[in-house]
Structure 1
Amino acid sequence: MEKNYNANAESRSDLSCSEASIDLGVLVYIDNRKETVEEFHWLYKSMIFSNLFLRSRIIAVCHPDAINLLPVDEKLTIIPSTPYLERNAEWQGYAYINSVGNFVDQSVFDECKKYRFILKTDCDTFVTPALLDFSPSGLCFGFGAYAYEEEVRWKLSQCSLRWGFPHSGLHNVGASVLGPSDHVCNFLTAQLDYCNKLIKEEFSNFEGAWPGWCKNVLTMYAGELALRCTYPQQCSLGFLDHFPSATRNIGSDVLHIHAWHTNQYWSKHDFRAGKYFDIRSDQIDRNTLGGYCHWLAQSAIDNVVNERLTR
């Protein structure tokens, strides 16, 4: 039977942010990995450069051992949180669950209630100045890339029917979500529910292989099912999680860029491997999605602040 995930929507829409102009919370989970902490600084620098702190604050749900590695900034609210997989034996070895499970907690939802909108995203992302004036009416996502095989689409339809609702045919829902705070909290609650259903009923003794039905992208499957159960008629795909391409310029239709796994410029793996070491900052074209990410990842925080002030 389909569960009502909107039952607490009214209570979650009660705004209590002390500054009326601060209406956006950026919700992110930070694990105690060197790479994840580095990536969080990319997101943080992009918020500085894009002036997003004029309307937003960061809600950092953070592994206790990583807290001291974050910037000291009053615009960060840090919520210590032991990884979900360490508290739930069935998730051992599947770290992706932390980016869902660690958010579904009353302390996190209470913080989200202080904002009109929430952007839930990953650390390896970059916001752009276009987000400064964007106000969603429903849930906005990027595009995922997990359901191009017919087997996967069929399995998702079968799961939804088995769990009490027909599938609407909407596939490849992205990892990040932006929308009214109550909508995002309800979506995350549903997503975790479907993560747990999938691990028990589909992947308890089955791993699968990409690009077929595969445990490795279980959280993405759960996001699609959660959207169907919450706001299937109040959603838009394509606003978030853009690829860091060097052939596309940043425009008002690019709110958010995700450093996906890619072998093309800009690649976070090539960046870490030192393959862009010879490119000076003044040679980077910040007007492109790839150049924007490259420059922010490479630049020190003080340089980003100075560039913002001189724009």
Structure 2
Amino acid sequence: MKRAVVVFVEDNPHLLLQLGCLYTSINYIQSEDTDLVVFGTKEALNKIPSDCIKVQVGIADNPPEFLNYRFINSISCLAGEEATFLDEYDYILRTDADTFLTPAWNSYYPTSYTVGRGGYVNDQKTISNLKQLASKHNLRHQGFHNLGSTHYGNPQTVREVCKIGVFLSEKLLTEEFKEDEGKWPSWYKGVATMYGCEIAVNHLVDNIEVDTQNLDYGSASEDSIYSHSHIHCWHTDNMFSKFHFTAGNYDKLSTENLDINKIKDYCLFIALNSKKLFPLK
């Protein structure tokens, strides 16, 4: 069995700090079958440890609208020829940098294409627009909504989802939202990649599993790390908060009395240790 955790980073101090947490968590759980594959700009890759698998890519700029929508890079990096080597893996996990793996990852091998949870479909208008967009491009939509940004499954399928997601994101940015960006929490330009990947999964995958317990689980939880494989830092000021971490607000805290079997304490423990074990160059 061979797995890869795949992320994109550019030369942004916050992103690199977050990547350090993911890197440190993978080392901590001693996953023998998991590689950390980092797509990124030359400047970013030069600052991360050599035991990551590094793939240099540029910032997406075609169409020009992508330059003002940096989220596209997290999926466009898997859509190009540079990512074909990922097909050699049994599973890939496409995720964001602000995540952690727990010991539960070491026995997490779902049989279906699996995603985490999302929260971008909040009204009937958005549902209707998504179905219209899919129909316009002759794509199937099975009615599965609010699929998370983390995708776990067969490499070829994950990459094909990303390709369609990039195509649809381009259509959304250059056509649908060209004059009007919409308004959150309804139909909104800011989550174009989520819309695109949702339609792509609905089109390509017959058996979709939304595993809210093992993918994209919240970092402020007191649940056991042995019940949740993958932790995502949602927008919160509660412990553990990526915002407080990147601001340095946790730097003087001690790890001695933490219960690292609990998610929020585990994340803090990993994060504080990442500053020692992830030597940004």
Name which of 65, 74, 81 aligns with 2:57. 81
Q: Describe the shift of the 1:303–1:91 C-alpha distance in structure 2 as closer, same or farther (beyond 3 A).
A: closer
Matched, 1:263 2:237: yes
Distance 1:237 1:159, change over 3 A: farther
* Corresponding position of 1:38: 17
In structure 2, what is the equivalent of residue 24 of structure 1?
A: 3
The answer to whether the aligner puts 1:104 opposite 2:76 as a matched pair is no
Contact 1:286 1:295 in 2 (8 A): yes
Aligned partner of 1:247 among 180, 200, 222: 222
| 2:159 aligned counterpart, secondary structure | helix
Task: Name the structure 2 match of 1:11.
Answer: none
* Superposed CA offset, 1:117-161 (max 9, x none): 111111111011111122222211110010022221221122222
Which SS does the other structure have where 1:281 is aligned? Answer: coil
Please tell me the residue identity of whatever aligns with 1:243.
G
SS of equivalent to 1:84? coil
Q: Deviations over 1:232-269 (max 9, x none)?
A: 424333231111123322233x1100112112221111
**Deviation of the 1:59 alpha carbon:** 1.6
Contact kept, 8 Å, 2:166 with 2:196, in 1: the verdict is yes
**Superposed, which structure 2 residues align to 1:128-167 within 5 Å?**
128-165=102-139, 167=141
Per the TM alignment, residue 202 of structure 1 is displaced from its structure 2 partner at its CA by 1.1
Distance 2:206 2:174 in 1: 25
What residue number does 1:67 align with?
Answer: 45
Residue deviations 1:153-202 (CA, integer Å, cap 9, x gap): 22112222222245322110000111111221222122112212222331
TM-score (norm: length of structure 1): 0.83
- Offset of residue 296 of structure 1: 0.7
SS in 2 for 1:282: coil
2:272 pairs with 298, 304, 309, which one? 298
Provide the C-alpha distance between the structure 2 equivalents of 1:128 and 1:80, rounded to a whole number of angstroms.
27
| Contact persistence 2:240–2:267 (CA under 8 A) | yes
Identical-residue share of aligned pairs (%): 27
RMSD: 1.9
Count of residue correspondences: 277
Is the CA contact 1:175–1:220 (under 8 Å) kept in the aligned structure 2? yes
Question: 1:8 maps to what in 2?
Answer: none
How far apart, CA to CA, are the structure 2 residues paired with 1:138 and 1:101? 23
- Return closer, same or farther for 1:139/1:292 CA change in 2, 3 Å cut-off: same
Q: Judging changes above 3 Å, is the alpha-carbon distance between structure 1 residues 67 and 170 closer, same or farther for their aligned structure 2 residues?
A: same
Counterparts in 2 of 1:49-60, with a 5 A limit? 49-52=28-31, 54-60=32-38
Alpha carbons 2:24, 2:277 under 8 Å: kept = no
TM-score (norm 2): 0.92
C-alpha distance in 2 between matches for 1:105 and 1:157: 27
1:27 maps to amino acid: V
Q: Is the 8 A contact 2:219 2:267 kept in 1?
A: yes
Structure 2 residue matching 1:174: 3-state secondary structure: strand
